[in-house]
Structure 1
């Protein structure tokens, strides 16, 4: 008993010491781990390679440490990697800075401007109050509605970041109508997953879906258009929605709806809003123009990024937004983070690190030949490890080249391997692993709502939905066998 008491006291002392010095310990580990990583790398990389690969991977490991210990905002480590890659001549400047001229950056900026107009016009608050007053008064209605709106947009707007920029202001306004932190966290997770969970189920839900099709031969590309893509991913969608409903029912089991006094207050607030003002009308017209432009892309063939930017800039011409609105409502840290991260893929290809990874993952082919289920479970583990270091897009591009060569020696359709990789690559647990999560966290921080309970809820839900993707992939294998894809 005495030994147990001493052990408990020692553990409590160490826990207290760690809590008080967690920042110092984080900086120490963030310096130590990249140094050890740099010493360990020469044994893993080819002897005929240059030291640039070692430098880049060391810089990335340092950035991951800074993200894990939350020592700086997310964009700071990403920009440090970019700057040091230029200063140390790891790759050509135009390659390292490629993200700052990519379509993704301008698409997200345009979506931020749309979200700014919707927010400053008061339209999101009007819609939020209207939904609370008109929908049935129970604990499940609002979270489920946010998820359904995001799911609808997944079939329409081919950008998870763009959907998140539109959904987050509405979720924030709905959250502010409740004083319960748990309820606020539930609404934010539902908004996030609504615009993201099913992004691989719809062909138009994610730009990487089209990238994956680009790896396949023309005949397969022709077959897997919108309808056949949805038919082939139907079981995955059902399983993911089932996991979401289980999470929602468990999460809302003890939450309370809006009280009678709160509803009376909201009735008064809604009448105070009066008729639609000019900015709200402008927001509705702008959204209508954007939707029409998306639906007619097959006619005008203009990139969504430039359509979005053109409509967004027109808001300034008609005084829908001003420079102060742009300063306050555009999430510049997230834009910098996205621009810096996008260039990691081209840098990896320039350093030929993708070929090194491909050579060391040929054993995956043997697993898929013997047993597809074992192969996908092994692939899930590989993706999880790589995603700790690299974002989803570079991870997907690197591993897709591996799986294309694997499919040639198996009876599995290359689309099945590509979709499985796509589904697993979109999983994330920590905010720095995906631009959508980083964007939502940044906006919640600016709104003063990123509490410790909010962080825990995001973390546990991310783990739950990562598990859901793995199970959905395994459950769908018999369905793909019935479709002769395996």
Structure 2
């Protein structure tokens, strides 16, 4: 459809210069036009060979009404008029033939040159190349709609021509990533030269590398897995550790266990099994808001042992919130929305420390425990040891839920809707059955590992093989849906811990913290408070995974000298590190808010207080569980 499109508020002519040849003008057009700002340079380069310049004489037709809409045009020079209406106002520089982008079969109006014109012609292959970019596609659709509504001037897409803004925080972060390791390296070498430090040269160098990693994690300069990969690759390239040590995480049992569980989680997610579970819970329970909240929490909780990333679980359950609140009166949404939101979020995250398979750092902490302790705290025994904390924490969480979010509004999802949804889902599909079978085998393997004597990592890999062999996990899903960045991060963290041990950094750090040994042994109650507060302060600047690694590296070796089982130290670090108050402190919280942004709920202040109270709940649950740990022999 022809339209007088002035993208920048006037008849801007992109890429037109009489002195340029055709390809140069196409190239300049692609660089200047804001609708192509999101397109990659490679796609722009491909486009130069697809688009071309066409000259029209006065009176020559660009396209007729009813012609097949297979080409998009941009008028660089001259004027156009609607076919059959030459006396009306002519049209200047802009896009024409938007029907070709929108999938319409024909042009709804014809255009003719009212005087000599220069037109950029963009055929179907060009359109297909750029239509996958929302900025291009939506921009063309907006042009079309505005022309139909009579609004001929189209504002520039937000940020399309704006100069890239420099993030001061990023600049500070990159500057510190260079300065901190240098300061660590020179400072430690100075201490060593004065006889005040007993650490090898490799240990000093790797400490500087770890300083860089800490800054990168603190300022979120790079994705976590790239920072982790940097730490072990640097160790190999600088001769600090052998490749067999630095990259040992990629051949560890934890790596293969995570890969198998990730494959199973892909099948669970793609099959819709979690949604079927949610509908079943709504169907069997009473039509009460208490049951809806419990169902939200339960779905996330049941996924926790089998989807080893909190972000993955949040992505899977987040769409349940708008589904149940869309169309609900604003009064109900603001009263009950915050509780539903918190139960959905914490159902997917609160139980992470209690299942060794729920997060990558859980595997790391398990690997840092002494070998004999590792063998004693596999999946089931890990959960049993933390079950008292879990039970007390859930009871207090329920009480907090009832007190903080109490309201008098009535909120009911009609059972007729739930029955219709369940009817549409029909019977379990083959993919859902395969997911259930995989879950059953994994649970059996975890619960009865002492009987079958098989490493659970290879049971998980056998499940993955079965899913791929019978086509429940296709080749495309295997490549695109498994979280490979998570696996790289996991392998890198395990390798990082092994390099720290090989260089002796952990022993040197432990020697500096001997005062904590006395505190652990003589006053474990005080130690718990000190640990919880210390982690809370560090979490202001460091993300969850980095915090866990720092504290586990420092404290787990100390536990071997006291009557406190090292597992308790690792568990407490995981439990308190998982706490957050503000979105930036947990990537999955930020992701959850983004995924549920379409649903506006009540006051954020109440949610802030709720998160602060959860930290106190965890601390109280730990103290209440001390007799249970004494009974198990984990604490003297």
**TM-score scaled to structure 2, two decimals?**
0.57
- 1:341, 1:30 → 2: CA distance? 22
| Aligned partner (choices 551, 564, 574) of residue 414 of structure 1 | 564
- 1:425, 1:169 → 2: CA distance? 22
- 1:61, 1:372 → 2: CA distance? 30
Aligned position for 1:268: 420
Aligned position for 2:142: none
- 2:491, 2:174 → 1: CA distance? 23
Alpha-carbon shift at residue 312 of structure 1 (Å): 1.6
| Aligned partner (choices 165, 168, 174) of residue 24 of structure 1 | 168
CA contact (8 A) 1:97 1:343 kept: yes
Alpha-carbon shift at residue 353 of structure 1 (Å): 0.6
**Could you say if the C-alpha distance between residues 185 and 146 of structure 1 is closer, same or farther in structure 2, counting changes exceeding 3 Å?**
closer
- 2:169, 2:311 → 1: CA distance? 35
Higher relative contact order (Cα pairs below 8 Å, separated by 6+ residues): 1
CA contact (8 A) 1:125 1:173 kept: no
| Aligned partner (choices 287, 310, 321) of residue 175 of structure 1 | 321
Mean Cα displacement is larger for which, 313-322 or 379-388?
379-388
Verify: 1:401 aligned to 2:552, yes or no: no
Aligned position for 1:36: 180
The 5 A counterparts of 1:96-135 are 96-135=246-285
Alpha-carbon shift at residue 460 of structure 1 (Å): 7.7
The 5 A counterparts of 1:68-79 are 68-79=218-229
Q: How many corresponding residue pairs?
A: 439
**What whole-Å deviation, never above 9, does each CA across 1:126-149 have from its counterpart, x for those lacking one?**
222222233223333344345456
**What whole-Å deviation, never above 9, does each CA across 1:234-283 have from its counterpart, x for those lacking one?**
6534442244224433564469886547x654433322222222222222
CA contact (8 A) 1:107 1:308 kept: yes
| Structure 1: gaps (5+ residues) | 1-19, 201-205, 408-412, 432-436
| Aligned partner (choices 134, 140, 155) of residue 290 of structure 2 | 140
Aligned position for 1:86: 236
Verify: 1:470 aligned to 2:614, yes or no: no
Alpha-carbon shift at residue 225 of structure 1 (Å): 12
Aligned position for 2:136: none
Alpha-carbon shift at residue 99 of structure 1 (Å): 1.5
CA contact (8 A) 1:109 1:335 kept: yes
Aligned position for 2:342: 186
Alpha-carbon shift at residue 424 of structure 1 (Å): 2.9
Verify: 1:236 aligned to 2:382, yes or no: no
The 5 A counterparts of 1:350-365 are 350-365=502-517
Pair member with larger Rg: 2
Aligned position for 2:65: none
CA contact (8 A) 1:114 1:166 kept: no
- 1:359, 1:324 → 2: CA distance? 50
- Going by fraction, where is helix more abundant, 1 or 2? 1
Alpha-carbon shift at residue 349 of structure 1 (Å): 0.5
CA contact (8 A) 1:143 1:186 kept: no
- 2:308, 2:201 → 1: CA distance? 38
- 2:383, 2:578 → 1: CA distance? 27
**Could you say if the C-alpha distance between residues 30 and 121 of structure 1 is closer, same or farther in structure 2, counting changes exceeding 3 Å?**
same
| Structure 2: gaps (5+ residues) | 1-163, 193-197, 327-332, 357-361, 581-585
**Could you say if the C-alpha distance between residues 443 and 102 of structure 1 is closer, same or farther in structure 2, counting changes exceeding 3 Å?**
farther
Verify: 1:331 aligned to 2:331, yes or no: no
**Could you say if the C-alpha distance between residues 43 and 63 of structure 1 is closer, same or farther in structure 2, counting changes exceeding 3 Å?**
closer
Aligned position for 1:3: none
Aligned position for 1:309: 461
CA contact (8 A) 1:119 1:169 kept: no
**Could you say if the C-alpha distance between residues 482 and 331 of structure 1 is closer, same or farther in structure 2, counting changes exceeding 3 Å?**
closer
- Going by fraction, where is strand more abundant, 1 or 2? 2
**Could you say if the C-alpha distance between residues 98 and 251 of structure 1 is closer, same or farther in structure 2, counting changes exceeding 3 Å?**
farther
| Aligned partner (choices 216, 239, 244) of residue 66 of structure 1 | 216
Secondary structure in 2 aligned to 1:177? helix
**What whole-Å deviation, never above 9, does each CA across 1:364-383 have from its counterpart, x for those lacking one?**
23334654433333344566
Secondary structure in 1 aligned to 2:239? coil
Secondary structure in 2 aligned to 1:140? helix
- 2:373, 2:465 → 1: CA distance? 37
- 1:356, 1:138 → 2: CA distance? 57
Aligned position for 1:4: none
Aligned position for 2:57: none
Secondary structure in 1 aligned to 2:289? coil
Aligned-residue Cα RMSD (Å) equals 4.5
- 2:429, 2:420 → 1: CA distance? 18
CA contact (8 A) 1:100 1:339 kept: yes
